[in-house]
Structure 1
Amino acid sequence: MNYNIPEPKVFPQRVRSSKRKWYAIIVIIILLISSFSILSALHPHPIAPETSIASAGNYVSTGTPYNITIKLNQPPKYVKIFWGDNTNSNISTSGTAITISHIYTNPGIYYIHYFAVFTSGILFPDYYIPVYVSSNYFSNYTAQGILSVYNYSRSPINPDSNIFYPNTNMNISGSFTPPDDPNYSLISGTFYLFKNGNIIKTFNINTYFDHSSKSYVYKNLIFNFNHTAPGNYTMELVTYSGNVSSSGSVSDIISSKYFLDVIITSKIPHIYIDKNMPYIAFASSSPYNNLNPETAYTSGDMQILMNTEEFLFYYNQTSGKYYPNIADYPEIKNDNKTFIFKISNSFKFQNGETVNAYDVYYSLVTDIILDNVTPQSPGWLLAQYVIPGNYYTNVTYNNIKNAISYSNTSNTVTINFTHPMSNETVYRILTSPGAFITSASYMIQHGAVLNITNAGIEKFRSNYEDGNYSYFVNHIISDGPYEILSLNKNAVTLIRNPFFMGTKYNAIPHFDIIKIYYGLSLAGRLQGLRLNALQMASVPYEYSNAFSAINNISISGNVTYSEIYSFNSNVNLTMLGNYGYFNMPYNLFSNITVREAFYNAYPGNNLTLSKHLWDQFVLNAGDKYNIKNSSGVFLYNNATLKIPLFVNSIINDPEVVRYINNLQGVIKGLKVIIIPVTGDKMKSYEFYGNNPMPIYLSLLPLNMNLTEKISYLGNPENGTYMYQNGFSIGLYNKSHKNQTKLMLNLSASINKLTFNYSSKNITDAQENLSMLYLYIFTNENVTITHIHRSSIYGFRYSLNKNYNIITFNTLY
């Protein structure tokens, strides 16, 4: 069929926009994304498991719960914790945090680690938690063992840790603390080595009965650790002690254990350190000057060294008695002239090395050798008793050889005194500045090489004076309760030394960290006390009303003060120039003969002896100080010798004028002028190297026993920490012969702080040469208000009057 239908008219078509195509593509993409989102919602992508340590401590005592909290980003099937003592715990939870406790029954150094099992697999975090466990129980019958790592072929991966790379060879040192009861001794022991909880080696400690000493004999143990494959190694030292009869039979056998963990890994792990460890913060007004244990002399030095270094004996402030520490009570021979000290095996330096007889010998000998250096060191405290004649010039090879000897075989040190000595005097000398026991190998490693020859002695002394031992100004190795974590001119941070195990007399500290701040303003100190950021501070009395803004302040108790003259061995002449009246050597009072001469010129003492001592000084050492006798008149630099006497402005004592007249009578041509200053200003001057006061008269509480050491800040015994700046000025050291009031009770509320010490050793001037103060007591007594604040850290005690506050601290 033919349809006569016209063709449709075709018009020109518009060009199609490209946007429409992209709109379509975008819509498709959006639909695809939505689809994927729905699929993702229905089938979520698994989140990678993560864990972290929320809280954990680094120190704990045996029998005390140790707590750890682990956070997780999703509930695990379970978490397995390895405590380092060959025990572990499995914990299941439906939450995202786990807190668990563990009780360590034996002292040691443990490394905690863990892994978590999730649905998606097992996570092995690279965290280790070092835990230093001390024993809170001391038995008179137990021989407690100690283990430490030393002599390793490669340094630890993490400094000051027991974590090493594979193929590291090392030695494990074992030692023992003998029982306090003399009828008991170590009789045997066993060393076990575990890897990942499985025992791999056992050593028996061989001992034998020595019929001469009626005890079992053993040697310090060195175990060669050559298991260098990765793994977690635990060492267990079991010691057995018993009641030993004269024939060698044993009864009442008692065991003790000590654990040490060593980690071998090819990874670089993280060490967890508790940032919230209990600490005590102290605002000191006396910065440290020198940390060399044999020459440090200032109170700022002592604040650090008393916390880090140990003496042969330990002075207990509560009982007023001396107890064995690094050394046992001595064997005494030769009419109380020869003292033989057995050195304990239980004290270790912070690097794990055991303190031995040579360390003691080296420390005491170098102390003596440096007795006559500039600036003044405390070596004369010991030298005067063991060096015959002039103990400054007679420190020779023969005299040292006759004075001190040692035996590493018997682990003993023998001291021969020049005249008979009482036990307590010897203990006091050996707990005085300069008598700290340090590591000989550490000192030698850093340049302080000791050769006991006449030439070697002189070289050692000259090297010190030339500044060749400057390394030890800022560096020490600890054998005490704390070691230095960091220090600078503004602050020092001390952290517990894990190798300090303490004794039943010298307990481990309660605080893990000590922070000492320098140079804080008065406002900063008050603010620190107010916010409890500081637990101790020195505050002048003029501003004591500011205490009312601090919570929990109470006022109670009284104390009596007396006057004290102090001599400065390092006068800051630039600052003294601000007062305009002086002409003297800056180091005049570093000379002990000068101090003795000035001491004996005090009213009631011996003016004839004073004049003789001064004349001897000028004859023997005047040229060194540019002082000469010119026709009976003494001159300095060919001009009048002028020495200012600074006096606390609240003191009104006619004896001061008599004292000046005596000095000017003994030293012809000398001019002494009084410069009154406030107690606050006087205290601010007592910075070593910044003190412009040649002689100064201040106040001192009668019931402070300045012969004793400053108790370390973390000491848990009910003793005190003494703030008084007692070592910065090289004071002469005799007590006034007419001293009658030796001690007063601080108050009934703080009677635990009372110092109990023997009056005989206070009144006996010759045997009190270990004291660093010249006491000059007057009839004027000053009653002082006692301020203290109770806090979780114990008590902070402050004594004040119209001059300044002296701060004490008791830690419970």
Structure 2
Amino acid sequence: MTQPENPQQAPSKPKRSSAAKWIAIVVVVIIIIAGVVVVVTYHPTTPTKKTEKVTLSAPLVYTSTKIATTNEPISFTITNVTISPTNVTWNFGNGYYGYGSSVTYTYEYPGNYLVEVNYTYGGSFATNILSLYPITVSRNTTTINSTFSAQLTNPLILFNKTTNPTAPIFNQSASMDLIAGYLQPPTATGWSISQFTWTINGSTFKGQYLNTTANETGLYPIILNAITSNATSSHSNVVEESVFVRQTNQAAGILKGKGNVMNPNLITNAEVVPGGPYSLDPQIDWETVGMEVIRNVYQTLVAYNGTSTTSFIPVLATNIPSVANGEISSNYLNWTFYIRSNATFANGLPVTAFDVYFSIVRELLFTTGSPGTGGYTLAQALLPGYASGTPGFNNYYNITKAVTFSNSTQSVTFHLFKPVPYFLDLLADTPSSIMEYQWAVQNGAGLVFTPSGFNAYMNESNAPDYNLYLQWHTMGSGPFEVSQVQQGESITLIPNPYYHPPAYGFPKSNYTVVIDYVKEASTAVLMLEDGQADIVSGLPTSSIPSVQGLESTGAANIYTFSTMTTYFYPFNFDINETMLHSIGASYVIPSHYFANIYIRKAFADLFNYSEFLNDIVGNAKFHMTLGTGYVGLLPPGMLGYKPENQWENVPSYNITQAKEYLEMSGNLSTVVNFPMFVQSGDTTNYAAMAMWAQVIHSVDPNITATPVYITFSQMIAYTAVNQNPMPIYDLGWGTSIPDPINMIPPMYVAGGFYPSGDGIESASSLAAIGYPNEAQNFSLIGNLSNEAASNPNVTQRALEYQQANQLGINMTLYLYTYIPSGMWIYQSWLKGVQYEENPVVGGEVDTLYCYLSK
């Protein structure tokens, strides 16, 4: 047991004013004097009537909000009383008190609080301890700048539910087993968590784990202080949690919603994605973590109809255009959309055709952004120079010819240069999200509609020139708006007060949503067990037994489904050695080391695929299919898919073949020492890379590789063109369009999302550094992809994509790891999860919170 150290003073209770004491004294004196007068003057003939006790109803609590931020005043009112109560006392669950039927209180620290209220009438007393009122307070991040935030950690108070199943309600003298969790450690260079300090009733303890005894009865706080520091400075970050310790035979409980639901107005998702999203700007962000927020805040003209990948519903559009209704031309080159008149942004302004026009123009201008953006999806249909890589293809002339609008009819028309049968898929994707133009102007993102204005605006799609306000603030017309952002730690969504749902789908929500980005999977599981999280996602497969244990007791549900998501390790053809040295001075590797095809093939043949799937992913270990092997970029359900054994040149675990490739590479005597980058918290791929590195080193001792954790958002940032220091890294692709058009071009075509970040901006760039065969193959893939994109013959189109896919497999551009089985893990009280199954909504990992309820 941890021993208490020097007591630290807990927050003091507010004192009554001296004026109140003098009033009490005056009242007492008057009563005494009056009593003397009565005695002297009167001789009553009947005895004094005693005060009778009456039965009082248990009070209830009404508040202005159940979900608040620090420094936000909350009004509390006692209700469910049939008489005028006297001596109303409030205990706010943090050691502070208030008095009166209606009070206002402001919490200083974030935490989960319980509020007790009691009152008297005559000689009777009533209290709400059977239904203590819960209040959730989050940190107000508006006063925290990103530099300071990076030096902090957000602590969590977690209870061991095995030993404390009724926490935060305890019996007197019971053991309290507490765990100090945290969302993420500090991300600022040189900063780390140095200490956790607990304060309970004036006693102070140190350590991440605390076992103590609940000696004092009543309602009071547990205070956890997470101290972070570097060589010269330190910061404290406090969180509180109310506990109620009941006396012998005393009953106590917490007010819950229907079905015994915790925090009935709040949905919390604990995502094991350290670092959180890269951006919230829909025309910049092209990764699933940021897309989740974007999908809940912004809207597109159309969307997929529920779980269908072939049927669409209008969202901002009044209807789906067709040739029959005259909104698609007979040659399928002109598509007109009329804007729904009651669609409204979160600032109360209506969505107009010009807002749509601006957002689409912005998307096309940002097609060439770095790190890669999603604008290429729409550019394939609207800008003829994109496919051939013509410089300046997204210029003023081409864009204004491709998209036009009408203020008088509130419509937008797209002018395609070729028929595209999947055009609605492109418009349903997050890069085509609609942003309010005046808000963008007010925050420095206005666009000058001239050729020079367009050229200048393109710069804002590159990381050094991002509009930082738009990167972390939003203005959409979706069911939610962003209320709080603590970069890398958490994002809070609240209902959009001006939201008007479309005729189909995307209902209005009354819930506040908190998305916590958690570093440790164990923390996320504890949050689920403790009731602090309704959903957990991003868990490594090693956490499955813990979740299965919760499911067996009815504490959680596991919902599985198939996916089109692919995971892989890219090989970087052009490593930024300068940046790599800044990450680790001992790292040494030639910049074009992995441009050598025989090095890539050798590495691919040194990966033990069966051990990875059976023991590390855990198919055999956990007796369930958590992932399946694959090769190429046409997953099951995609046009052109073929089973793994029907492709040629498929890598396999073959040490003899790998040695031959190493000899053919001409690099057997080359000494290299480099990191393999893994997303923080991803213990599955960390173990896989450690296994891989060991085998590689055993075959060639000149090669030393070490898995290294970095945050997801930092990994995305590193993929900027000519800036990527990662020789090998762990990422994936969750297709948002169920067509090879969103697999082959971004993954296999030179200049695509991944190739551009891995040093393959064009086929000619490979020829220039001495790899003409790779250059020729990339040219062939580009030609096949372009032909397939506009081919109306489905059979021929599938064949062209298969040929492109085979060329990609031949070049071993990636080490293909697995296709995961989709898995939703959530509290048993959460409803609506069945609406989250669409395999192309953020690669089936994003949650549409408007469908969820408790």
TM normalised by structure 1 equals 0.48
Higher RCO (C-alpha 8 Å, min separation 6): 2
Higher helix share: 2
TM normalised by structure 2 equals 0.46
